[in-house]
Structure 1
Amino acid sequence: MDTIKTAKKKVPDALSLPPKLLNMYGDFVTKNQSSVTQIESALRSLTYIIPGRFRDAELASESLHSSIQLLSIYHDNLLTRAISKLPPIPRQQTMHSRYTKFWTQKSKYYRRVATLLSMIQYTELLWEMMAKRRGEKVRWRVVLILEIIKALCRLCLLRITNSRPLVTPHLPERDAIPEDPQEEDMYDEEFKVKEPTDYEMKRTGLSLPPLPNPRDISSYLLSKVLTADDIKAPNALLNKVNGSAQLAEWLHILQPLIYAVTMSRSRNKKDWQPWVLGLSVEFAARQLRKEGYRTTALEKEEWNRRGWSILYWVMRGPMYTEVTRKAFTGFSSRMPSLISGIMDDYLYLWDNYYFSTSSN
C-alpha cells in the first residue's frame, strides 16, 4: 500500500515536470536573448556551408536547418510574451514591424495563419525530400498540397487585413528586450564607454545637448524629423487594394501554385511552357498594380522586394538547365576545392528539388 501511495504522489510531480522545464527554458531565452540570437545565426549559417550537405545526408542536414528555423519562431513567441509584460517603452521600429505587430496583436487568426505559413516555408524542402524517396508522383503530390495550403493561407491573410497587400515576412521582426539599466552602467564602466555629455552653462545653470559630429549633420537632422508614415496608424501603412490592384495581388498569391501545377504535368526540365507561363503571371501582377501618389513607403518596400525576387526565375526550369547551370559549372571549376565542393552540393540541390529555388 505504501508503494502505491508513493507511486501516486510521484505521478503529479512527473506531470508537472515538463511545464517547469519549459518555464526554465523560457527564462533562459529571455535573459540571454543576444546570445541565443547569435547561436541561432551561427547554426543557421553552418547548415549552409556543411561540405557534402546534400548528397550524403540531405535529410539530416535539412532537418537540422528546419529545426533551427522552427525553434527561432518559438523563441520569437517567448520574447514577445516577455516584452508584453514590461511597461511600454518608446523604441524605434521599422514600418514592417509596426504593421505586422499591429495585426498579430489585433487578430489571433492573423497570428495563427502567419505562423502556419512560416512553418510551412521553413519545412517545405524537408517535406519534398522525404516525399521524393517514395517516387516522383508522391513528391509532386506533396509539392502541390503545400502550394495549395500556402495559397489558402495568403488568401486568408488578405481577407483578415481587409484586402491589404501581403508583406514578407508575415510575422514581426524579433524585438530586443530592454536590458537592466544597472547592468548597462556596469558594462559602460567596465569598458569605459564614453558618450557625449550635456554642456552646463555657468551663469544660468542650464544645459545644452551635445553637438553632433560635423561630418554627420545631415543624418542627425533627418533623424529628428517626423515623416508622414511615422505618425500614421499601423494599419494605414498599407492601402487597401481594389479593382486591378486586387487582381494583381491574387495573381501574385496564385502564381506559385500555377507554376507548380504546370511543372507537375510537364516533368520535362527542358520544357519552356511552365517557365514562360509562371513568369508571365508574375509580370502580369506587376503590370496590373497601380502605383499612384497614395503609395506608401511600406508598399514601395514590399514591391521592391518582389521585383528582386524575379531573379529567382533564372534558377528554374530550362533557364537554369540550359543557361544558369552551365555558367555555375564553369565558375565552380575555377574555384578552390572547398568552395567548388560546396557549389557542387548546391547544384545537386537545385537540380533535384522544386522548393530549393522557391521565392514564396
Structure 2
Amino acid sequence: MASAQPSAVNRPFGHRLSPAKWLSAYDGFIAKNLGQVSQIESTLRSLTYIIPGRFRDAEIASEAIHSGVQLLSLYHDLLLLRTPAKSPSGENLSTEPMPAPKLPPPQGPGQALSLHTRYTRYWIHKSQIYRRVAVVLQVVRCTELLCEMTAKRRGERLRWRVVILIEAIKAICNLLLLRVTRGRTLVSPVLPVRQPLPDADDEEEDEDVEAERDKEQYELGRGQGNIELNAPTMYIADEGDCRNGAAASPNASVGPASGESACIGERPAFSIPPSPPLSESCFPTLSHTKGWAMPRTKMSMPPLPQPDDISSYLLSRVLTADDIKPASKLMNQLRGSAQVSEILHILAPLVFAIALARSRRNNEKRSSWTPWLAGLAMECAARQLRDHSLRTTSLEREEWNRRGWAMGWWPMRGASYEHVMKGVIGGVRSRMPSFLGGIIEDYEYLWENYYFSTSP
C-alpha cells in the first residue's frame, strides 16, 4: 500500500508531460505560426550554403542539416494535409476523415489551390497506399545524398551498392504509384506543395488602414446626426394626405400653415431636413490587395484590380475547364505507347545507375559513354512515346515541361561531365572573382564525387 501512493501522486505529472501532449502542442504551435516556421526553415536551409565544402566532413555536416530541414518540412506539410480542402468548383477533395487536430488550410485568403495541389490532395485522401508510398518516396529523396556520403566513407563498392539500392526503391515506389493511380502520369513532387502565405506585415498594415477608415466614417456619421453612411432621404406622401393632387416634396415643410398645397392629416407636423451633399470621404478608396469592410454590416467588398492589370484580374476570376473538373480527371489514364513512355521514364535512372556502377568498377579513372547514352536514350524515347494528342490535360503538359527542364542536368552527369563540362566549368571559374570561384569550386567537389548531386 505504501508503494502505491507515490505512483498515484506522480501519475498526473507524468500524464501532463506525456509525449502525445507534447506532440499535440507542437502541432498546434505549427498551425498558428506557419509563417514564422517557414522562415526558420529557410534560414536553416541556407546554412548548407554557408558551410564550406573543402574541409574534412563538412559536406556531411551541411547535408545532414539540409536533410533534417527537409524532413522537418515534410512533417509540417503532412500536418497541414489533415485539413480537407475544397476546389474552386466546391468539390471536397477529401474522401475520408483525417485524424485530429483540425488545422487551418495551407492556402492564404483568396488563394485558389493549384492543379498539382488538387490532384495530389485527392489521391492522398482517397488512397492510404498512395499516401504511405508517397511519404516513403519523399523521405528517400530527402536523404539519398546523405546516405551516399556516409556509404562512401566505407569504400566505393558499398557506395555504389547503396546508390543502386536507393534507385531501385525509388523505381518501385513510382511503379506502385503508377498502379494506384490506374496508369496516370506521375507528378513531381508526389505530395502537395505548401502554398505561399501572405506577408504578415501587409496584413497588419491593411487592418490598421481599415480600422482608421472605419473610425473616420463613424466620426463623420456622428457629426451629421446619423451613424450610418449619409444617403439621400426620400419621403413619399399618400394620395389621401394631399389636397388638390399636390405631391409632397422631401424638402418641403408640412404643417397647418403651409398653404393650399400642404398635406392635411392626423399626423403631427414635421419637416425633413435636406440631405447634405455626398463628399468623397463617404466613398473610401478600396484597397487593391484587400477588400474594404463596411462599418455597419461588416461585410467585405471585393478588392479592386490594379489599373494596369485589368486583363489579368478578369482572367483570374474566370473558371476554366480544369477548375470545374474533378481532381481525378486532371490526369488522363495512359494506354499503349503512353504507358510504355511512363515506365521508361521511371526505369531510366535505375538503368543509368547500374550501368555507371559497372563502368566505374572496370575503369575508375575515366567513365564510359555507354551509361550516359543509355540513360539519355531512354529519356528521349519516353518523350517521343508520350501522348501528344489534344486530349492531354494542362497538368500533364506542365509535368512534361518540368521533365524537359530537368533533362538539362544530363550534361552534368557521367562521361559528359568528365569529358566536356568539367573543362568548361573550370574555364568559367578561372575568369570569375575569387569569391564566386570558391563557391563554384565547392560545388565541383560534389559534382565530381557524388552521384546524387546531379542524379535524375
TM class, shorter-chain normalised? 0.7 to 0.9
Asked if structure 1 preserves the Cα contact closer than 8 Å seen for 2:82 and 2:103, the reply is no
For structure 1, which segment, 122-131 or 260-269, has the greater mean C-alpha deviation from structure 2 after superposition? 260-269
Report Cα offsets for 1:159-181 as digits up to 9, x if no partner: 0001001000100112478999x
Match of 1:188 among 206, 215, 218: 206
Aligned to 1:58: 59
Deviation at 1:341, TM superposition (A): 1.7
Deviation at 1:321, TM superposition (A): 1.2
Amino acid aligned to 1:138: L
Asked if structure 2 preserves the Cα contact closer than 8 Å seen for 1:100 and 1:172, the reply is yes
Amino acid aligned to 1:296: T
For structure 1, which segment, 189-198 or 268-277, has the greater mean C-alpha deviation from structure 2 after superposition? 189-198
Aligned counterparts of 1:347 and 1:209: Cα–Cα separation in 2: 52
Aligned counterparts of 1:274 and 1:179: Cα–Cα separation in 2: 47
Aligned to 1:116: 136
Aligned counterparts of 2:204 and 2:401: Cα–Cα separation in 1: 43
Aligned to 2:389: 292
SS of 1:230's partner is helix
Aligned to 1:41: 42
Deviation at 1:336, TM superposition (A): 2.7
Asked if structure 2 preserves the Cα contact closer than 8 Å seen for 1:79 and 1:175, the reply is no
Larger RCO: 1 or 2 (CA < 8 Å, sep 6+):
1
Amino acid aligned to 2:347: L
Aligned counterparts of 1:117 and 1:43: Cα–Cα separation in 2: 23
Aligned counterparts of 2:13 and 2:161: Cα–Cα separation in 1: 45
Aligned to 1:279: 376
Aligned counterparts of 2:8 and 2:74: Cα–Cα separation in 1: 37
Amino acid aligned to 1:223: S
SS of 2:321's partner is coil
TM-score, normalisation: structure 2: 0.70
Deviation at 1:192, TM superposition (A): 6.4
Match of 1:341 among 438, 445, 450: 438
In structure 2, the CA distance between the partners of 1:54 and 1:110, relative to structure 1 (3 Å rule), is farther
Aligned to 1:256: 349
Report Cα offsets for 1:305-326 as digits up to 9, x if no partner: 1111111111111110111111
Q: Is 2:72 the partner of 1:71?
A: yes
Q: Is 2:231 the partner of 1:139?
A: no
Aligned counterparts of 2:343 and 2:373: Cα–Cα separation in 1: 19
Question: What are the equivalent positions in structure 2 for 1:1-360 lying under 5 Å apart?
Answer: 2=2, 5-6=5-6, 9-10=9-10, 13-14=13-14, 16-52=17-53, 55-81=56-82, 85=102, 91-175=111-195, 187-190=205-208, 195=287, 212-267=305-360, 268=363, 269-359=366-456
Deviation at 1:4, TM superposition (A): 6.6
Aligned counterparts of 2:71 and 2:350: Cα–Cα separation in 1: 24
Report Cα offsets for 1:275-331 as digits up to 9, x if no partner: 011100110111111210101100110000111111111111111011111111122
Asked if structure 1 preserves the Cα contact closer than 8 Å seen for 2:171 and 2:350, the reply is yes
In structure 2, the CA distance between the partners of 1:229 and 1:6, relative to structure 1 (3 Å rule), is same
Aligned to 2:273: none
Aligned counterparts of 2:103 and 2:72: Cα–Cα separation in 1: 23
SS of 1:355's partner is coil
Aligned counterparts of 1:59 and 1:208: Cα–Cα separation in 2: 53
Aligned counterparts of 1:174 and 1:271: Cα–Cα separation in 2: 41
Asked if structure 2 preserves the Cα contact closer than 8 Å seen for 1:54 and 1:61, the reply is no
Asked if structure 2 preserves the Cα contact closer than 8 Å seen for 1:113 and 1:157, the reply is yes
SS of 2:118's partner is helix
Deviation at 1:110, TM superposition (A): 0.6
Amino acid aligned to 2:63: E
Deviation at 1:48, TM superposition (A): 2.7
Report Cα offsets for 1:93-141 as digits up to 9, x if no partner: 1100010000001111111100100000010001111111111111111
For structure 1, which segment, 132-141 or 80-89, has the greater mean C-alpha deviation from structure 2 after superposition? 80-89
Q: What's the RMSD between the two structures over aligned residues?
A: 3.1
Name the larger-Rg structure.
Answer: 2
In structure 2, the CA distance between the partners of 1:185 and 1:340, relative to structure 1 (3 Å rule), is closer
Amino acid aligned to 1:232: K
| Structure showing the higher helix proportion among its residues | 1
In structure 2, the CA distance between the partners of 1:219 and 1:157, relative to structure 1 (3 Å rule), is same
In structure 2, the CA distance between the partners of 1:175 and 1:108, relative to structure 1 (3 Å rule), is farther
Aligned counterparts of 1:95 and 1:36: Cα–Cα separation in 2: 25
Deviation at 1:358, TM superposition (A): 1.2
Percent of paired sites with the same residue: 54
Amino acid aligned to 2:150: M
In structure 2, the CA distance between the partners of 1:210 and 1:184, relative to structure 1 (3 Å rule), is closer
In structure 2, the CA distance between the partners of 1:60 and 1:11, relative to structure 1 (3 Å rule), is farther
Unaligned runs of 5+ in 2: 86-101, 212-285, 295-299
